[in-house]
């Protein structure tokens, strides 16, 4: 499971000209899933994202987490995070989990993040053509991969 975590001043997801998710200060999480991702990966990644100290404290130092700031989050499914660009110029998405595997894991991740944060997490729609708007704050962008836990 791989996530691109962006600290945002605001973010939204639009599907067919309808805004389906909208936050102010918080995190936009792009989430990619592979076939061998597990419930353990979900728990580890949710805990890591909830507790990443990437928000400024009163001294202007990145020392505060989303959990501490009580900011909001949007999670968007992103199969292209597992693109392979080894051969040629057309990415291969063979590593990305198919919907029958990915959807339950995606939904479980969102529920786990809601549990960890103690609040509702907004989402895009799995498999939809989404327009994601964001104002990256910092900019701060962190890539977290459950395959690199050590």
Tell me the CA distances in angstroms from 37 to 1, 33, 45, 68, 111, one per residue in order.
6, 7, 11, 28, 16
Catalytic residue among 6, 78, 112, 123, which? 78
Catalytic residue among 39, 68, 70, 80, which? 80
Is-catalytic flag, 78?
A: yes
Backbone angles phi, psi at 79, to 5 degrees: -65, -25
Report the distance separating Cα 139 and Cα 44, nearest Å.
25
Is-catalytic flag, 6?
A: no
- What 3-state class would DSSP assign to 65? coil
Catalytic residues: 78-80
């Amino acid at each position: 499971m791989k996530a691109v975590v962006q600290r945002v001043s605001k973010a939204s997801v639009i599907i067919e000209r309808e805004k389906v998710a909208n936050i102010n200060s918080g995190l936009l999480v792009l989430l990619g899933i592979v076939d061998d991702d597990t419930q353990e990966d979900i728990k580890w990644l949710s805990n890591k994202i909830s507790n990443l100290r990437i928000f400024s404290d009163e001294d202007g130092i990145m020392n505060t987490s989303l959990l501490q700031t009580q900011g909001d989050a949007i999670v968007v499914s992103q199969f292209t995070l597992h693109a392979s660009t080894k051969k040629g110029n057309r990415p291969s998405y063979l590593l990305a989990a198919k919907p029958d595997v990915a959807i339950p894991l995606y939904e479980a991740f969102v529920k786990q993040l809601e549990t960890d944060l103690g609040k509702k997490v907004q989402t895009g729609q799995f498999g939809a053509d989404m327009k994601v708007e964001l104002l990256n704050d910092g900019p701060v962008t962190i890539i977290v991969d459950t395959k690199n836990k050590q």
